[in-house]
Amino acid sequence: MKRLLLLPLVFFFALSSVTAEDWNQWRGPRRDGSVGQTKWPDKLTDRLTKRWEVTLQPSYSGPLMQDGLVFTTETIDEEFERVTAYSIEDGSKLWQHQWPGSLAVPFFAAANGSWIRSTPAVVPGHLVVLGMRDVLACMDPKTGTEQWRIDFPGDMGKPLEAFGGVCSPLIHEGAVYVQLGGGLTKVILATGEVAWQVLDSQVGMSGGAFSSPSLATINGKLQLLVQTRTELCGVDLESGQTLWAEPIEAFRGMNILTPLAVGDQVFTAAHSGRSQMFDIRGGDSSWSVSETWRQKTQGYMSSPVELDNKIYLHLKNERFTCLDAEDGTIHWTSPPVGKYWSMVHNGEKILALASDGVLRLIEATPEEYRVLDQVKVADDTWAYLAINGKTIVVRDLNSLQVYQWN
C-alpha cells in the first residue's frame, strides 16, 4: 500500500465540505440525481450551446465538476487508467495522472466494454478514483499529485472482481466508502488507511458488488444504504456493523442500481426480478424490515429518481415508468427509449441522457410520459450526466463535451 499524508489533520473535517453547485460524485451533490430548485428552460433546441469538446479514450465513468474544474477518466491503450482535469471555462488541460490498470471483462459482457466505469468522488483537497482492478487512488484535485493509492488485490490479497471495479466511491466526513471484491470498505481519506471491510459475499464468478452506496437517515439514524449482490442493507458508518438486511433476488446476483430512500422506506428494483418497497423500523440495536409493496416492474442498470412521492425508473425492457411510492401503482410506461439512461431532476423536470446520446427534457408528472424536447448530444454514452448551474457535461465513450444553457 502506498500512502502519503499531505494535509494537516486540523483540516480533517473541512475537507469534506462541498458547495451546493458541485457535481462532486455519483448522481450529484446529494447522490440522488437532484440539483435542488434550479430553474430550467422548457426546451433544449436553441437553448443548449456546446462550449467545447475534447477527444479521449474510452470511459463509462461520469464526469465531475468542482471549483471551475471538470474531471474525467479514461482507459489508455488497454494498459493504463488515467484521470484528467480540465478548465470548465475553455477546456484547457490542467493536469493528468495515470497508473497501470486494465481488465478484460467476460466475453458475455464484452458488448459493454472493458474500460473504467466507476464514477470518482471529489471534495476540497481530495479526488478519489476506483479503477477496474480494484485500485483506489487519491489525488490532489488542484495539481493531480497522488496522495495515496491502494491496490486491493495486489497489496492486500483481496479477490479481483471478474467484471471489474464498478462501484462509485462515497466520501463522507473524512472517509471513503466503496464496494470492492473484498466487500464494503471504509478508507480514511487523509491517509489511505483501511478502517474496516465487511459484507464480503461471493456470488457467481466473483464477489464484490455492482451497486454504489448512498447515505440515508432512517428513523433518525444516518447510515450507509448498501446493496450487495444478494442483499439490501443498512450499515453503521463508524463500525461497519450491519443494522438490518433484506434478501434481494436478481439475475445472477446483478443488483446494479443504487437503492432509493423515501423517508423511512427504501425502494429497489432488481435486474430481471421485481420492484419492492421496504419499511425500515427500529433504532439502536433493534431493527426490522417489512415489505410495503412489490410488483412486476424489473429494473436494470439505471438508478431511479423520486419527485413528489413518485418514482421514475428506467426498465430492463428499455422503457421508462412512473410508480407511486405509496403503493407501487404504475401511473404510466413509455415506449422504448434505449438500453440505459442517467437522470437529473430539479424538482419539476427531468433531464435524461440515453445511451444512444439523446438528451430528453421531461416534465415530471404522473399524468403521462411527457417529453418537452430532445436533442442528440453524443453517440455512445453510459456515463452519468453532470450538471452544475447552467453547465451540462456529457461523457461520450470517446469524448468529453461541455454545454451551456442560454
Residue 110 predicted with pLDDT over 70: no
pLDDT value at position 316?
95
pTM of the model: 0.93
Dihedral angle, C-alpha 148, 149, 152, 156, nearest 10 °: -50
pLDDT value at position 20?
42
Average the pLDDT over 168-183 and give the result. Answer: 96
Cell (9 digits) for 81? 487508467
Residue 227 predicted with pLDDT over 50: yes
Instruction: Grade residue 106 by pLDDT with cuts at 50, 70 and 90.
Output: confident
- 220-229 residues labelled b (16+ CB within 10 A) or e (exposed): ebebbbbbbb
The residues, ordered by sequence, that sit 6+ positions from 4 with a Cβ below 8 Å of its Cβ are 146, 147, 148
Cell (9 digits) for 335? 415506449
pLDDT tens figures, 326-374: 999 999 999 999 999 999 999 999 999 999 999 999 999 999 999 999 9
pLDDT value at position 19?
45
Residue 203 predicted with pLDDT over 60: no
Could you give the CA distance from residue 107 to residue 299 in angstroms, rounded to a whole number?
23
pLDDT tens figures, 46-101: 999 999 999 999 999 999 999 999 999 999 999 999 999 999 999 999 999 999 98
Could you give the CA distance from residue 48 to residue 3 in angstroms, rounded to a whole number?
43
Could you give the CA distance from residue 294 to residue 248 in angstroms, rounded to a whole number?
12
Could you give the CA distance from residue 383 to residue 242 in angstroms, rounded to a whole number?
30
Dihedral angle, C-alpha 68, 171, 307, 359, nearest 10 °: 50
pLDDT value at position 202?
59
Could you give the CA distance from residue 136 to residue 156 in angstroms, rounded to a whole number?
12
Q: What is the mean pLDDT of the chain?
A: 91
Could you give the CA distance from residue 113 to residue 105 in angstroms, rounded to a whole number?
7
Instruction: Grade residue 251 by pLDDT with cuts at 50, 70 and 90.
Output: confident
CB atoms within 10 A of CB 382: 23
